[in-house]
A and B are shown apart, each in its own frame.
Chain A
């Protein structure tokens, strides 16, 4: 949030100042931007703190709230990378596999389900839609044990399947809902035109709806990336084998509430873990904003 406010506000400033000369307005703008910058700094301080802590020696991390380390400890990164049972790229790779599977699963299955709910007529559509929405409201605690027993009996515990297969079945109701809303906003005349030109349901879905859904699909992809990348709990439950563990689980391995925590290495690897998500967000930010604006979902 903070970064976007800052970056979008900054380039606009000189242009407007040129347009409306006059010292009073200039001063007002200056104060306004100063206040914004200060607010942005406050928001971004924790992140900067983590960045600086990743370069600090451990006895300085909590003793000194400043942002400039007295000595730059680069070894936090090399140490953190190799401190755990596997080198850190292994965890990143495992996370990437799950994220990729989840994104593909959600894009394919949720868009199909959404198309059906938004455009097709079938018995019990209204009730099924309500049931689907109901699953959003079901807390994870209610389903986790039965789900675990199910996957355990399938022999899927300690594999990636429990984290990927459900995504292929459109179980992320939030995204289904998001796309239903988006598709409902598309003019029905396009569908009718397509059917006159000889498109069936599949043709309409693939040639008309999907291309127009790009912003919603991008939003789904980005949110799936962020949520899956950061998801700790279900990965904790299903991935117990150290060979399969992912980035959030690995970060947690640094911590121990009763013993030594290697904070420097932990923060260093947290910065590393932020990298992919930050990059993905930057790349998709344009679509994300459009997706949110057009569907009215925040």
Chain B
């Protein structure tokens, strides 16, 4: 029910089709139109994005505002859902018909840039003066900008204060707590009531592990595109998982797997049966809506007990343009409008992450709805303490999420020890990123 896919075509099989097609495309393109890329300035833009209905609605309004200001340009908008978006993009890029302006994700940005599907945005007339260097860097490879960040998010521990209070546990001090304190806290909440202390879902999230590694002065990836943490660090992480489970802070293994399969809206935090979980700041609204009450945001444990803070700002998504766009100037205008105009940001607010444009971020801060305000305040609070941002993930790193989940489940069900889990993760990710 959650993800109807009547075609029976999975994303993975599609990826294969994409590879097949990518190989065939140059051959066929050679006898068709001459490889695209013709900048004939026709003013016709295909504009693709993913999201859910509120985003589709306001994005359409932004397009209308843009068209009102730019005569001679027409836009064919194409909203989509995340998974379907990549299916469709894969085929259309392989078929040499990529959308002129598109939303991109950091998991795929580098892949598409390497396929030579994206335009280096230096060529376009987009004002980047209000975007921080560090944020901009997340969309740059080999000295070129292939994606401009729409906004930023950060990891936070979302806590349901009502459950914590009912369990008779004090709210922890997030500027001082360690991962041991997290264990004590979750175990105490579980013991003090029916709800579980934490759902254990994000312990398989490689970004959260990155925070953990960074707190020790290491990182998930290095700038050279290799793994950047020691085995000892990952062993500690897996040991923490086992300790949490032994103390009752997170659920039984089978339950964790069930929750992971059921999706965000049915996670214990969202249904009111769990007290805490780590999420990105842009997910707060969705969870609060399903939960029906307010959450409190805490920094992850260990931020001030390690050698440095581990949190970082992640670019929520990117604006990119296709190398084959039929009108570079118009594509540039649209991206500039989306990124910098009052009309656009008044509608977008924090939906595509807290705006990357610093001037706009400050301007819209008072207009933000309560849930986005929570995230914005959190990001404002952690920003002064941030250490240098993490390296851009290497090509193939998109597989790391699935690999980490697989290893995590193996550990939960006892099919691998802590050390074996670490070795397995390192081996599989190294294969995926070709290191």
Contact = CB atoms under 8 A, between A and B. Distances in A.
Q: Do A and B come from one complex?
A: yes
B387 interface: no
B52 A148 contact: no
Nearest to A260: B286
A263 B52 CA distance: 11
Interface of B: 1-7, 9, 13-14, 16-18, 20-21, 24-25, 28-29, 32-33, 46, 48, 50-57, 60, 76-84, 87-88, 91-92, 94-97, 99, 263-266, 270-272, 280, 282-283, 285-286, 289-292, 351
Contact of A85 (B17, B57, B97): B57
A46 B88 contact: no
B81 A252 contact: yes
Interface residues of A, number: 49
Contact of A152 (B51, B96, B280): B96
B87 A236 contact: yes
Given A141-B17, A157-B97, A260-B285, A62 B32 contact: no
Interface stretch (A174-182, A193-201, A227-235, A283-291): A227-235
Given A59-B290, A153-B32, A260-B285, A141 B16 contact: yes
Nearest to B31: A153
Given A145-B91, A231-B6, A255-B81, A261 B286 contact: yes
B6 A248 contact: yes
Point out which of B2, B20, B21 has the most chain A C-beta atoms below 10 A from its C-beta. B21
Contact of A146 (B28, B82, B291): B28
Interface of A: 46, 50, 58-59, 61-63, 83-85, 139-142, 144-146, 148-149, 152-153, 157-158, 230-234, 236-237, 240-242, 248-249, 251-263, 265
29 contacts: A63-B271, A63-B272, A84-B53, A84-B57, A85-B56, A85-B57, A141-B14, A142-B20, A145-B17, A145-B20, A145-B21, A148-B21, A148-B94, A149-B32, A149-B96, A157-B97, A232-B5, A236-B84, A237-B87, A240-B78, A242-B76, A242-B79, A252-B84, A255-B3, A256-B52, A259-B282, A259-B285, A260-B286, A261-B52
A265 B52 CA distance: 12
Nearest to B153: A258
A286 B364 CA distance: 61
A158 B7 contact: no
B91 A237 contact: yes
Contacts of A259: 51-52, 55, 282-283, 285-286, 351
Contacts of A251: 4
Given A142-B20, A258-B283, A83 B57 contact: yes
A256 B76 contact: no
A62 B81 contact: no
A84 B91 contact: no
B78 A255 contact: no
A279 B55 CA distance: 33
A258 B271 contact: no
Contact of A265 (B14, B53, B282): B53
Main SS at interface, chain B: helix
B5 A58 contact: no
Contact of A253 (B6, B24, B25, B79): B79
A230 to B, nearest CB: 4
B7 A231 contact: yes
B60 A85 contact: yes
A46 B25 CA distance: 43
Nearest to A60: B292
Contacts of A139: 13
Given A58-B290, A261-B52, A141 B9 contact: yes
Contacts of A252: 4, 80-81, 84
A145 B24 contact: yes
A52 to B, nearest CB: 13
A257 B82 contact: yes
Given A141-B17, A145-B95, A232-B7, A262 B53 contact: yes
A232 to B, nearest CB: 5
Nearest to A263: B265
Given A237-B88, A256-B81, A50 B1 contact: yes
Contacts of A84: 53, 56-57
Given A63-B271, A85-B57, A263-B265, A256 B50 contact: yes
Point out which of B1, B46, B83 has the most chain A C-beta atoms below 10 A from its C-beta. B1
A202 to B, nearest CB: 37
Contacts of A50: 1
A248 B289 CA distance: 25
Nearest to B14: A141
A153 B289 CA distance: 46
Given A59-B292, A62-B290, A251-B4, A240 B76 contact: yes
Given A141-B9, A149-B95, A152-B96, A236 B56 contact: no
Across the A-B interface, give the 4 residue pairs with the lowest CB-CB distance, nearest first.
A145-B21, A233-B7, A256-B52, A141-B17
B57 A256 contact: no
Contact of B25 (A59, A149, A158, A249): A149
Contacts of B52: 253-256, 259-262
B9 A140 contact: yes
A145 B25 contact: yes
B289 A260 contact: yes
B199 to A, nearest CB: 14
B20 A141 contact: yes
A194 to B, nearest CB: 42
Given A231-B7, A259-B52, 17 more contacts: A59-B290, A59-B292, A84-B57, A141-B14, A142-B17, A142-B20, A146-B24, A149-B29, A232-B6, A240-B46, A240-B76, A240-B78, A242-B78, A253-B80, A255-B2, A257-B83, A259-B51
A94 B52 CA distance: 21
B108 to A, nearest CB: 14
A152 B92 CA distance: 9
Contacts of B20: 141-142, 145
Contacts of B4: 232, 248, 251-252
A253 B292 CA distance: 23
B95 A148 contact: yes
A58 B53 CA distance: 15
A98 B252 CA distance: 48
Given A248-B6, A253-B53, A259-B282, A144 B91 contact: yes
Contacts of A254: 52-53, 81
A281 B166 CA distance: 53
